[in-house]
Amino acid sequence: MKIFKIIFLLLFFVFSIIAAEAKTLNFAVISDTHYTINKENDTFRDLTVSGKALKGAVDRINENKYDFVVFLGDNIDKSNERSLRQFFRIVSGIKGTPYYIVLGNHDAHKISGLTKQKYLEIVSEYNKNQRKAQASYCFSPSKDLLAIVLDGSSSGMPTSHGVFTPKTLQWLDEVLTKNKNKKVIIFQHFPYIEPFFNPSHEILDKMEYKAVINRHENILMIVSGHYHKEGIFKDERGIYHISAPALYLSPYYYDEIKVEYDKTLFEKAKNFKLDGTQKPAI
- Select, from the ranges 36-40, 121-125, 130-134, 160-164, the one with the highest average predicted confidence (pLDDT): 121-125
Q: How do residues 52-79 score in pLDDT, each as one tens digit? A: 999 999 999 999 989 999 999 999 999 9
Nearest-CA neighbor of 29 among 131, 117, 145, 149? 149
C-alpha span between 118 and 35 (Å, rounded): 18
pLDDT confidence of 271, banded at 50, 70, 90? low
- State how beta strands 272-280 and 240-243 pair: unpaired
Task: List alpha helices for 102-249, DSSP H.
Answer: 116-126, 166-178, 206-214
**pLDDT for residue 130 is more than 60:** yes
Laid out side by side, the sheet with 145-149 consists of: 137-142, 145-149, 183-187, 219-224, 240-243, 231-234
Q: What is the mean pLDDT of residues 15-38?
A: 76
- State how beta strands 231-234 and 240-243 pair: antiparallel
pTM for the model stands at: 0.86
Helix, strand, or coil (residue 226) = coil
Q: How do residues 98-122 score in pLDDT, each as one tens digit? A: 999 999 988 887 777 899 999 999 9
**pLDDT for residue 141 is more than 90:** yes
Is the distance from CB of 232 to CB of 195 less than 8 angstroms? no
Q: What is the mean pLDDT of residues 162-183?
A: 93
Please give the domain boundaries of the chain with CATH numbers for all domains.
26-280 (3.60.21.10)
C-alpha span between 51 and 252 (Å, rounded): 11
C-alpha span between 120 and 79 (Å, rounded): 12
pLDDT of the residue at 278: 80
Nearest-CA neighbor of 38 among 221, 223, 248? 248
DSSP state of 131: -
Q: What is the mean pLDDT of residues 213-217?
A: 96
Q: What is the mean pLDDT of residues 239-261?
A: 92
- Compute the CA torsion angle 244, 249, 250, 253 (nearest 10 deg): 30
Q: What are phi and psi of 169, to 5 degrees?
A: -70, -35
The proportion of the chain whose per-residue pLDDT surpasses 90, expressed as a percent, equals 59
C-alpha span between 201 and 248 (Å, rounded): 19
Q: What is the mean pLDDT of residues 87-92?
A: 98
**pLDDT for residue 136 is more than 80:** yes
